[in-house]
Structure 1
């Protein structure tokens, strides 16, 4: 792993059209402040503004602006006026001759001038440094939160903005979100020269501005690995949920050249869980994001490669190798493959839901949105553990949480410990035999139409709806290659023997081996799997053991 970039020092920017004066000011500043501040010098107002915009995009801080009053094309006062829009917290100083003191005094109100200095400022120990020392102390004592490495500018109810924020959060990329109509959002848009209609804008740590980037572009510019280092491996793991991470950890730790390919972010559905309390070894519980991050770091420590934004669309037997095909037309070969693609939430069949997905309607518990539900009424659809965990988490800050379930009670689908936790929360209620039949809203979710099994309907006000309604394997890309059951889950081991034509090789299939020798399956995507995090991790580890047997017998 590369060493972290050194922390950038705040800047002192000086602008003067006289090169000799410009160099003299910069020299005096560096001599006294160079160990704590970075001195930036410009010889015109336009050049200084361009430098400020570049620093803004990089997330640099600017403490003081010193501008000469008499400059062609753009006076010092005009420069400071425009610079205020980029760095409103920077202290502003005007360098002026005695004859211009009247203009300097007038500028105190125009550009909120902090001080004006008369030329010459010699000796600086008496006339320059005491002034700047006071301004810097005032600047340092302001409440200036540290700037996150990546910044996102978008509309509040933008589906793509929400997707980008969730992508960054799940890939452990620190970021800060600014509304497009907020002062800082407007400053970033202006610095990038971006059209507000082309949002969202993502500004990376190196100052690159990306307008409405794809996930692949986002990953590439924020340091998330996207490209395999070679074209052949011992083991390809498809999917980065608990089963895939388990396979990657055990594969790499046992000496196999292992690569894990993931479409969005490691963790899978479990990675979005607010709290997993029945996972072995974590008596106080652990969030899905924490568990996924630890597993990811563990896999990397053992030498596994992890690449994301790789959408696998095909599987092929290529002689003794097993080949996976990606949506971009590339492919990757290995001796063996572990399918650990997990499952996806089924789509809610409610009128109007597509237009409001990402605008108040979310599948799973979107990490970037959950914190926005404080003191509001929230609805959760689903009766399994994932819905229960989300309801408990949301209840900590929401005014109310209503759990909508199709069945008569939670006992048939949810763990007992979660049912007890929900019953103990005063602001959580369960509405049985109830479904969402329609969602309503213009720019964002505003109301829900609820339908009871009896046929009665009710419309309720709602700004937030989180959906957890069962799992679909999304394995159409394996059609005609790997045997699956009628729901699309991958058949493996003994199930293949029962299925006529499911296994054609002379030896019997290994326990987690699919109908294609050398292709194994682990976790929720396997037919009749336990659908539990611990079981998925265990199957990932077991699949690697069976990969070794396959390689030894091949």
Structure 2
């Protein structure tokens, strides 16, 4: 019997040869690697393969090809080999097109070029493709379906949750015939949206985060009751702590309420992170860190909100929203910060319906040829402005301060200046948002003059302030006036240790007012609000955890 085929399609001969070479090196014994220089040539090859009765396991197609791009090719290739797994080769600038292709033509993965080293960037993706192909054979791949309304805030929350957790799904609007048919089959109506339909056919109306996570196959229940280390929060600091904790032999569990990556996970492109000279998206960085943590044996729990932290003898206990709890010898608190709500008339009612907090990549396609507004003057706002400039007709950055240099990195300021469709308006804030079913206009106010202006728009993305999510701690840990958790030297008042401190030593640098509870990343008072420093603090916290455990 002939070997199944791995087909690559790229109009650049050097890229085509390189990907075929790398594929043969790893898969040559079990698969026949073929390559084509255009979509048309590839379709001819697939027709011949079909006539010979051979099978195609996976197809890797370049996105930017003349006459027929990768998405158009894959649409036609599906008619010939509907069960072959599909991946899109793309440059960073076309990442959003690749993400949208997941819904358009059932693309399983996308790969950014260049993929060096292939052991890290190419082979894990192709491994997943061929494993899926082997597992399902000629059966269709199971998928999650979401039925909702574009301007429904609960529908947006479901889509955002799935996208941020890298869960492929298919979106159906209730305004489309297929969406209405699915609602009818689920015995649901417009008042029940969003409806999430699981791969086994179960319909969930207005599901909770835990229900969505379970439907998506994400882990929500801990495997044990006691660990060496509990990491609360899955941003860069939490992921760093989980990777280093698990790799150094600690029984580690990471608990995240929404999606790993935190605010950094929503960044369209981080260019000043060490080791990534061409930049890296927050989603890519998060996915690698999550896989790395799991590789070393860390558990990752999603959609589990922690509501209390307690001390019971030498154990440190966290309690979940449903009343269940887990305990450990030590805890790393890395809950990060949230964007502050925009204090403007009408914004609260339009959240998720034109007013968004963070860079909502799920809305990028809807912003095509639209006028988009970004509120904020720090790096996250600048990155969002650059990202949406590739989709929107115009992007206006609204900055309350007098210049960008106060809060934004120089490289990002220079990028923004070089993009023609980005306009920066300084000393300007939003005072009102209005719309019927969704956002339709903003009222802006210019500081100093007090002059107001009403502008039409359907999309505003907010990146202001940094509010720590620490109210649930109550009086358990010492916090500053803004809610950030105090650690190490900041806990010493005139040389005295914090009240209730039980050890005959001062708190370690990242240690809170409760021994064995460490704090890393943006939630820590006096921390540097950068991805690299958060990862470093996560790693440093694990070193201090080891010191603490040696004392016991």
Give the one of 485, 502, 517 matched to 2:498: 502
Q: Distance in 1 between matches of 2:265 and 2:415?
A: 21
Quote the residue 1:381 is aligned against.
375
Report the alpha carbon displacement of residue 215 of structure 1 after superposing the two structures with TM: 0.8
Quote the residue 1:220 is aligned against.
214
Quote the residue 1:513 is aligned against.
511
Structure 1 residues not aligned, in runs of 5+:
1-34, 37-62, 64-145
Q: Distance in 2 between matches of 1:181 and 1:193?
A: 17
Deviation track 1:380-423 (CA, whole Å, cap 9, x = no partner) reads 00000000000000001110000001111101100000000000
Quote the residue 1:537 is aligned against.
535
Q: Does 1:294 align with 2:288?
A: yes
Quote the residue 2:429 is aligned against.
435
Q: Distance in 1 between matches of 2:384 and 2:285?
A: 16
Deviation track 1:175-217 (CA, whole Å, cap 9, x = no partner) reads 0111112021122112222222211111112221111111111
Alignment of 1:182-197 (within 5 A): 182-197=176-191
- Contact 2:435/2:441 (CA < 8 Å) preserved in 1? yes
- SS for the counterpart of 2:492 is helix
Alignment of 1:417-456 (within 5 A): 417-453=411-447, 454-456=449-451
Quote the residue 1:484 is aligned against.
479
Structure 2 residues not aligned, in runs of 5+:
1-53, 56-81, 83-139
Report the alpha carbon displacement of residue 472 of structure 1 after superposing the two structures with TM: 0.5
> So what's the TM-score if we normalise by structure 2?
0.73
Q: Distance in 1 between matches of 2:486 and 2:465?
A: 19
Report the alpha carbon displacement of residue 494 of structure 1 after superposing the two structures with TM: 1.2
RMSD, aligned CA: 1.8
Quote the residue 1:124 is aligned against.
none
- SS for the counterpart of 1:299 is helix
Q: Does 1:472 align with 2:455?
A: no
Alignment of 1:191-270 (within 5 A): 191-270=185-264
Report the alpha carbon displacement of residue 147 of structure 1 after superposing the two structures with TM: 7.4
- SS for the counterpart of 2:311 is strand
Report the alpha carbon displacement of residue 501 of structure 1 after superposing the two structures with TM: 5.2
Quote the residue 1:116 is aligned against.
none
- SS for the counterpart of 1:300 is helix
Q: Does 1:407 align with 2:401?
A: yes
Quote the residue 2:279 is aligned against.
285
Deviation track 1:130-181 (CA, whole Å, cap 9, x = no partner) reads xxxxxxxxxxxxxxxx877111111110001100001001111100111112
- SS for the counterpart of 2:518 is strand
Q: Distance in 2 between matches of 1:201 and 1:479?
A: 36
* Greater Cα offset, 488-497 or 251-260: 488-497
> So what's the TM-score if we normalise by structure 1?
0.73
Give the one of 526, 529, 551 matched to 1:528: 526
Alignment of 1:15-414 (within 5 A): 149-414=143-408
Aligned length: 414
Q: Distance in 2 between matches of 1:364 and 1:373?
A: 15
Deviation track 1:299-352 (CA, whole Å, cap 9, x = no partner) reads 001000000111111111100000111111111110000000000001110001
Give the one of 435, 442, 452 matched to 1:457: 452
- Contact 2:364/2:391 (CA < 8 Å) preserved in 1? no
Q: Distance in 1 between matches of 2:151 and 2:162?
A: 18
- Contact 1:148/1:174 (CA < 8 Å) preserved in 2? no
- Contact 1:162/1:369 (CA < 8 Å) preserved in 2? no
- Contact 1:148/1:175 (CA < 8 Å) preserved in 2? no
Q: Distance in 1 between matches of 2:407 and 2:512?
A: 28
Q: Distance in 1 between matches of 2:189 and 2:177?
A: 16
- SS for the counterpart of 1:513 is coil
- Contact 2:230/2:254 (CA < 8 Å) preserved in 1? yes
Q: Distance in 2 between matches of 1:377 and 1:437?
A: 18
- Contact 2:497/2:506 (CA < 8 Å) preserved in 1? no
Q: Distance in 1 between matches of 2:363 and 2:394?
A: 16
Quote the residue 1:39 is aligned against.
none
Deviation track 1:41-99 (CA, whole Å, cap 9, x = no partner) reads xxxxxxxxxxxxxxxxxxxxxx9xxxxxxxxxxxxxxxxxxxxxxxxxxxxxxxxxxxx
- SS for the counterpart of 1:411 is helix
- Contact 1:241/1:271 (CA < 8 Å) preserved in 2? yes
Q: Distance in 2 between matches of 1:348 and 1:359?
A: 14
Q: Distance in 1 between matches of 2:510 and 2:534?
A: 12
- SS for the counterpart of 1:310 is coil
Quote the residue 1:44 is aligned against.
none
- SS for the counterpart of 1:297 is helix
Report the alpha carbon displacement of residue 228 of structure 1 after superposing the two structures with TM: 0.4
- Largest Rg, 1 or 2: 1
* Greater Cα offset, 212-221 or 542-551: 212-221
Report the alpha carbon displacement of residue 371 of structure 1 after superposing the two structures with TM: 2.5
